[in-house]
Amino acid sequence: MILSGMVESLYAQQFSYGYYLLLHFPVLGLLKAVAVAFLALWMFPDRDPVTTDAEARQASSPLSAAERRLVGVLVACILLWLTDGLHGISPGWVALAAALYCLLPASHLSPGQSINARVNYGSLFFVAGIIGLGAVIASTGLGEAAMNWTERHVAFAPDQPLWNALVLTAISTLFAIVVSLPGVPAIMTPAAESLADATGLSLMAVLMTQVLAFSNVLLPYQAPPLLAALHMAQLPLEAMTKFCLALFAVGIVALVPLELAWWFVLGLL
């Protein structure tokens, strides 16, 4: 959301959700899900869970009318997101319409006081602040200064797109370690146009290298949602750290090269 919002703010371009999904889901979605499952089974083996008869009956109970309506809303959203290249409706408007429907009293999907009591406004202000930070970086020249330093110390080769994509991924990964994952778009997006000129890559290819970086979590502190999940599930930090390190290694060694090869097949590189 931060990346797409900043791209629209700085470059007046909108992402197609379908194209974004095509670029990233086969490798960073499906293959990474397989890697997560195998790593979890290998690092944390355990017996199958034992369920009581009451839990089994509850799990097999039919969906309520409200649950069926919510499933319908989610399916409609996914279909509209996947086909946004055909109808031209921004994914943001689709999500907003779905959220407004869920908040309508007639839908019976949200409590009456949900806006006042249950909406997490902190996350909204956080995204807005990061997008604003990107605009500040662009207007003050901080992004250009950072990229000038990068161009002096990093060897880009305009005739080697694969190498340039790997270097940009490495730079974004380093920024992710220092400023956490949400900070990557704030720093890299304002400089994407300069980086495209320096590397010979398209603006879209430069922007998409950020996804390779913020999809690879080295340590849990980089991802605020991961920290929230650790707290809610009461998971040990040591175990999650080991898992993140192992998954990061798999991503660097296997998933990043496969993702770049997929981009080459699609013509992005």
Let me know if residue 54 belongs to a domain.
Answer: no
Domain that holds residue 244: 38-45+121-266
Let me know if residue 155 belongs to a domain.
Answer: yes
Q: What does the pLDDT read at residue 31? A: 95
Please give the tally of structural domains in the chain.
Answer: 1
DSSP at 189:
G
Q: What does the pLDDT read at residue 37? A: 94
Mark out the alpha helices in 14-160 (DSSP H runs): 17-24, 32-43, 53-59, 65-82, 84-87, 91-103, 114-117, 121-140, 142-153
Q: What does the pLDDT read at residue 120? A: 65
**Three-class secondary structure assignment of 92-124:** HHHHHHHHHHHHCHHHCCCCCCHHHHCCCHHHH
Let me know if residue 157 belongs to a domain.
Answer: yes
3-state secondary structure of 12: coil
CA distance 246 to 238: 13
CA angle 61, 62, 65 (to 5 degrees): 135
Let me know if residue 9 belongs to a domain.
Answer: no
Q: What does the pLDDT read at residue 41? A: 92
Let me know if residue 196 belongs to a domain.
Answer: yes
Burial class (CB in 10 A: 0-12, 13-18, 19+), 185: buried
Digits of tens for pLDDT over the chain (269 positions)? Answer: 778 877 888 888 877 788 888 999 999 999 999 999 999 999 998 887 777 766 666 666 788 888 899 999 999 999 998 888 788 887 778 888 998 888 888 888 877 666 666 666 666 676 666 656 656 665 676 666 766 676 677 777 778 888 889 989 998 888 888 777 877 887 888 888 888 888 888 999 999 999 998 888 898 878 877 877 787 788 888 999 999 999 999 999 999 999 999 999 998 88
Q: What does the pLDDT read at residue 128? A: 67
Let me know if residue 23 belongs to a domain.
Answer: no
Let me know if residue 72 belongs to a domain.
Answer: no
List the end-to-end C-alpha distance of the chain, in Å, as a whole number: 24
Q: What does the pLDDT read at residue 261? A: 93
Let me know if residue 148 belongs to a domain.
Answer: yes
